[in-house]
Amino acid sequence: MTNKRGSRGKSTRANGKKRTSNRTETARTAEVVDAATVALDEAGTGEIAQRGGNGASATSVAMQTTAGRDSVHLVEIVEGVQAPAIDEGLICSLETGLTREQMLELYYYLKLTRLVEERLVNLYRQNKVIGGVYRSLGQEATAVGTCYALEPGDFIAPLIRDLGAVLTKGIRPRAIFAQYMAKAWGPSEGRDLNIHFGDMERGFIGPISHLGDMIPVMTGVLLAARMQQKKIVAIAYIGDGGMSTGAFHEGLNFAAVQRLPLIVVAEHNCYAYSTPTHKQTAVKNLADKAAGYGIPGYIVDGNDIIACYETTKRAVDFARSGGGAVLIEAKTYRRKGHAEHDDQRYVPREELELWEKRDPVDRYERHLTSQGIATREELDQITARIKQELEEEVAWAESSPLPEPERAAYNVYDNSIVPPAFRPKVLER
Amino acid sequence: MATAFKKEQKAERPARGGVVTFVEAIRQGIWEEMERDERVFVIGEDVGVYGGAFKVTDGLIDYFGPERVIDTPISEAAIVGAACGAALMGMRPVAEFQFIDFISCGFDMLTNFAAKCRYRWGAGIPAVFRGPCGAGVHAGPFHSQNVESFFMNTPGLKMVEPSNPYDAKGLIKAAIRDPDPVLFFEHKKLYRLPRLRQEIPEDDYIVEIGRARVAREGHDLSIITFGAQVLTALDAAEELEREGLDIEVIDLRTLLPLDRETILASVRKTSRALILHEAPRTGGIGGEIAGLIAEEAFEWLDAPVVRIGATDTPVPYSPPLEEYHLPQVKDVVDAARRLAAY
């Protein structure tokens, strides 16, 4: 087995625990960039394989070793877009602390996310969805796997493509359907779209469309938690596009300065609307940016749900024990356009075909069945259960009325102090 | 709620009430709220050891500790965002902009996150965003602005600007206790103005947000204003009194939501309205108030509604330029005379 190791290897420093032996048996879920290892080592939580760029036009990052095989799949990253690699037969990371029950629960959330979105597309085509539908097809494992590493009291701030994280946090699909259909029974009562709502009880801070803004907000959530002596951590999701904003920088810098337990999951899905990553940033890996904040940075295969979980779990433990903020780059791919209306004409066909082969749901199913964790029948049963559940959830959402028009006037302020903003009567006395 | 940190109590706490300056009144207000409610904390640039650029938070860090008086990087978006996040968690942040001009760097967080959270998912943001505003101290284009009209068109925010120590203390305390985000503007020229020194009560009190004040009663003409321009209006009124004109001065105190009733009651009484503010005239909140009067008090008016603001330029630095830019007592007196004679 061979890993391409970059010439930057010399800056990999004295990582005493750097793994050199028998990588196939100890497939690591995470890679970490230089600054990261330093911080982790200093915190005594090292033991993370590390690899830098090789300085050539293409950076080689070993995304994942296939379990128990004598081969290592390499993903060539050229100008931000992954080049072909052998993907048939790819399974997930073998090294995991997850129990069988947890792995099946993980499958439930992964498949739930896929099926909720498919159902949303159906509703969209029936003109029942008022706004757009934003798919996370092909990147669901990132949202679900990372969020699954959190405890119930922890917080998330998702992006539009993190439905999986929202569902994993315990939000019921009916809320999502009602939101998309602009119904009165949705959590925002028709005032905002899709996953633009929050649930403080479940640790879900409602995001806004302005990318990057949730990083400072989550910093404040954690500052408050520290004052309240709550040992919680939080994940703020961001993408290759959102990392270009000023708010991202200000928020992460502040979180790093304050050593707050903030885990920023950078979902590198290769496109921000139509703009490819190489037009967003000049760094090779989004995780390289961690060095600029003096925090650890990890790279993980975002389509390997076990790896996403394990990497985040480690980051969560590190953060919760006082290590401070962590940046995780999950390399994945957005297989649909920005929203359903977007025909992705800016994407080469071969690229889509390649990533279809890396589908995270197929891959996890292959993993579970080939490793004897679950049978095909058991997975089918879970799927059937989800489908039945979704029938009920959609029916509930469809049975909701649209909001009463006048409800638009309420809740701008606390209405016990400031009255609702009704449409004023003109020249009526 | 248990907080993690004990009071260090190195600093002497300020007196309660007494004869105070404008800045001392605000400082007392924040201090008392921090004592009263452990959820209240201060966040901003140089608010800790330095005590804030204008010393509004002086001594707080020694008394309450660095965990409740948080110095930040130069990152207004992070300051506003962090205050919002903490407020969602049940805290009561008081965020400082070193100069209110820098609120533009936190504009997105204020207008899109803070202002819309309650409306979108019922999550109120009980946070105060305060800072020194205003011109007349030769501080140039970036340390002199009045920003209320930037936010006037953003439902979900409240805006407050006091004109005297009593109101400043009562309003900052009300703002901290308010369940919604409040922008709190402090005219820097007032901070240590000797003529504003005033005896304020020892006991806890608040000034209700949303209520204007009749700063001077009169029958011939209403000057509707706020902040430092209340002094301009009162000076003009005194001069006009010698000419036999009886001027009423309305101190708005809260700019959003406007106290429509007090404005309309005054105009219906005097039948003449002059609106005075320090921000440039075009697009200033004077237009909103004039619109309100035109719609709701048209039949009571004996003269056109007049607006006086700064010239439509940035705030210039050099004293003669700045004086030309800003509304002066003379401008108000001249306009009032013409209005009265109309």
Between CA A337 and CA A133 the distance in angstroms is 10
Q: What's chain B look like in SS3?
A: CCCCCCCCCCCCCCCCCEEECHHHHHHHHHHHHHHHCCCEEEEECCCCCCCCCCCCCCCHHHHHCCCCEEECCCCHHHHHHHHHHHHHCCCEEEEECCCHHHHHHHHHHHHHHHCCHHHHHCCCCCCEEEEEECCCCCCCCCCCCCCHHHHCCCCCCEEECCCCHHHHHHHHHHHHHCCCCEEEEEECCCCCCHHHCEEECCCCCCCCCCCCEEEECCCCEEEEECCCHHHHHHHHHHHHHCCCCCEEEEECCEEECCCHHHHHHHHHHHCCEEEEEEEECCCCHHHHHHHHHHHHCHHHCCCCCEEEEECCCCCCCCHHHHHHHCCCHHHHHHHHHHHHHC
pLDDT of A65 strictly over 60: no
Would you list the domain boundaries of chain A? 109-340+371-398
Q: Please name the member of A213, A254, A421 whose beta carbon is closest to the beta carbon of B109.
A: A213
pLDDT number for residue A426: 82
Is the residue at B316 inside a domain?
yes
Using DSSP bridges, classify how beta strands A326-331 and A262-268 pair: parallel, antiparallel or unpaired: parallel
* Chain A residues with CB-CB distance to B43 below 8 A: 223
Cβ separation B68–A227 shorter than 8 A = yes
Task: Find the angle CA(B205)-CA(B206)-CA(B212) to the nearest 5 degrees.
Answer: 135
CB pairs under 8 A between A and B: 164
pLDDT number for residue A284: 93
Question: Which residue of B lies nearest to A426 if distances are taken between CA atoms?
Answer: B295
Count of domains forming chain B: 2
Q: Please name the member of A187, A257, A413 whose beta carbon is closest to the beta carbon of B121.
A: A187
Left, alpha or beta for B236 (phi > 0: left; psi -120 to 50: alpha)?
Answer: alpha
DSSP states of A368-400: HHHTTSS-HHHHHHHHHHHHHHHHHHHHHHHHS
Please give the structure tokens belonging to residue A48: 């993370």
Q: Please name the member of B1, B72, B119 whose beta carbon is closest to the beta carbon of A254.
A: B72
Residues A261-268 have a mean pLDDT of: 98
Is the residue at B4 inside a domain?
no
- At position A139, the amino acid (one-letter code) is Q
* Chain B residues with CB-CB distance to A411 below 8 A: 118-119, 122
Together in a domain, B194 and B234: no
* A408 vs B: CB within 8 A: no
pLDDT of A40 strictly over 60: no
- At position A129, the amino acid (one-letter code) is V
CA–centroid distance for A82 within its chain? 19
| Residue B143 annotated among the catalytic residues of the structure | yes
Q: Please name the member of A196, A226, A253 whose beta carbon is closest to the beta carbon of B120.
A: A196
Cβ separation B108–A247 shorter than 8 A = yes
pLDDT of A429 strictly over 90: no
The DSSP symbol for A84 reads P
pLDDT number for residue A322: 97
Please give the structure tokens belonging to residue A336: 């649909």
A40, A318 contact by CB (below 8 A): yes
Q: What is the CATH number of the domain that holds B156?
A: 3.40.50.970
B226, B253 contact by CB (below 8 A): yes
B115, B156 contact by CB (below 8 A): yes
CA–centroid distance for A250 within its chain? 21
Give average pLDDT by consecutive 10-residue segment, chain B, 342 residues: 52 89 98 98 97 97 97 98 98 98 98 98 98 98 98 98 98 98 98 98 98 98 98 98 98 98 98 98 98 97 98 98 98 98 96
Residues A138-157 have a mean pLDDT of: 98
- Active-site residue identified among B138, B143, B187, B277: B143
A224, B90 contact by CB (below 8 A): yes
What's the pLDDT tens digit per position in A175-187? 999 999 999 999 9
ipTM: 0.95
Give A 137-196 residues with CB within 8 A of chain B: 187-188, 191-192, 196
* A426 vs B: CB within 8 A: yes
Domain range for B49: 18-200
Cβ separation A229–B2 shorter than 8 A = yes
Residues A317-327 have a mean pLDDT of: 97
Nearest chain A CA: its distance from B64 CA (Å): 12
Q: What 3-state DSSP class applies to A190?
A: coil
What's the pLDDT tens digit per position in A116-135? 999 999 999 999 999 999 99
pLDDT of A50 strictly over 50: no
pLDDT number for residue A363: 97
Together in a domain, B156 and B245: no
Between CA A118 and CA A321 the distance in angstroms is 39
Nearest chain A CA: its distance from B254 CA (Å): 13
- At position A29, the amino acid (one-letter code) is T
Cβ separation B81–A251 shorter than 8 A = yes
Cβ separation A247–B113 shorter than 8 A = no
Together in a domain, B241 and B159: no
Give A 192-221 residues with CB within 8 A of chain B: 192, 196-200, 205-206, 208-210, 213-221
pLDDT number for residue A87: 62
Cβ separation A205–B85 shorter than 8 A = yes
Cβ separation B41–A421 shorter than 8 A = no
pLDDT of A31 strictly over 90: no
Question: Which residue of A lies nearest to B256 if distances are taken between CA atoms?
Answer: A418
* A254 vs B: CB within 8 A: yes
Q: Please name the member of B43, B73, B120 whose beta carbon is closest to the beta carbon of A206.
A: B120
Together in a domain, B39 and B144: yes
* Chain B residues with CB-CB distance to A417 below 8 A: 178-180, 210
Q: What is the CATH number of the domain that holds B240?
A: 3.40.50.920
* A98 vs B: CB within 8 A: no
Cβ separation A250–B75 shorter than 8 A = yes
* Chain A residues with CB-CB distance to B119 below 8 A: 191, 411-412
Question: Which residue of A lies nearest to B258 if distances are taken between CA atoms?
Answer: A418
pLDDT number for residue A12: 34
* Chain A residues with CB-CB distance to B87 below 8 A: 220, 224
- At position A1, the amino acid (one-letter code) is M
Mutate to test the interface with A, among B109, B292, B295 (most CBs of A within 10 A): B109
The DSSP symbol for A318 reads H
Is the residue at B37 inside a domain?
yes
- Give the range among A318-327, A414-423, B1-10 with minimum mean pLDDT: B1-10
Together in a domain, B118 and B71: yes
Cβ separation B89–A224 shorter than 8 A = yes
B1, B11 contact by CB (below 8 A): no
Left, alpha or beta for B278 (phi > 0: left; psi -120 to 50: alpha)?
Answer: alpha
Is the residue at B49 inside a domain?
yes
Using DSSP bridges, classify how beta strands B273-280 and B221-225 pair: parallel, antiparallel or unpaired: parallel
pLDDT of A59 strictly over 90: no
pLDDT of A388 strictly over 50: yes
Together in a domain, B148 and B27: yes
Cβ separation B108–A210 shorter than 8 A = yes
Between CA A67 and CA A91 the distance in angstroms is 7
Together in a domain, B27 and B171: yes
Q: Please name the member of B87, B108, B156 whose beta carbon is closest to the beta carbon of A413.
A: B156
B79, A371 contact by CB (below 8 A): no
Q: Please name the member of A217, A258, A412 whose beta carbon is closest to the beta carbon of B155.
A: A412
Please give the structure tokens belonging to residue B341: 């004679």
* Between residues A427 and A228, the one the model is more confident about: A228
Q: What is the mean pLDDT of chain A?
A: 84
Nearest chain B CA: its distance from A235 CA (Å): 13
Mutate to test the interface with B, among A221, A249, A422 (most CBs of B within 10 A): A221
Cβ separation B85–A227 shorter than 8 A = no
Cβ separation A413–B121 shorter than 8 A = no
Between CA A283 and CA A80 the distance in angstroms is 9
In DSSP terms, which residues pair with B69 in a beta bridge?
B42
Is the residue at B7 inside a domain?
no
Cβ separation B122–A411 shorter than 8 A = yes
pLDDT number for residue A272: 96
Mutate to test the interface with A, among B5, B80, B89 (most CBs of A within 10 A): B89
The CATH number of A109-340+371-398 is 3.40.50.970
* Between residues A92 and A69, the one the model is more confident about: A92
pLDDT of A48 strictly over 50: no
pLDDT of A30 strictly over 50: no
Which residues are within 8 A (CB) of B283 and not within 5 positions of it... i.e. 6 or more apart?
B149
Question: Which residue of A lies nearest to B91 if distances are taken between CA atoms?
Answer: A224
Nearest chain B CA: its distance from A293 CA (Å): 13
Q: Please name the member of B87, B121, B158 whose beta carbon is closest to the beta carbon of A188.
A: B121
Cβ separation B78–A254 shorter than 8 A = yes
pLDDT number for residue A18: 36
**Dihedral pair phi/psi, residue A301, rounded to 5°:** -70, 110
Together in a domain, B190 and B240: no
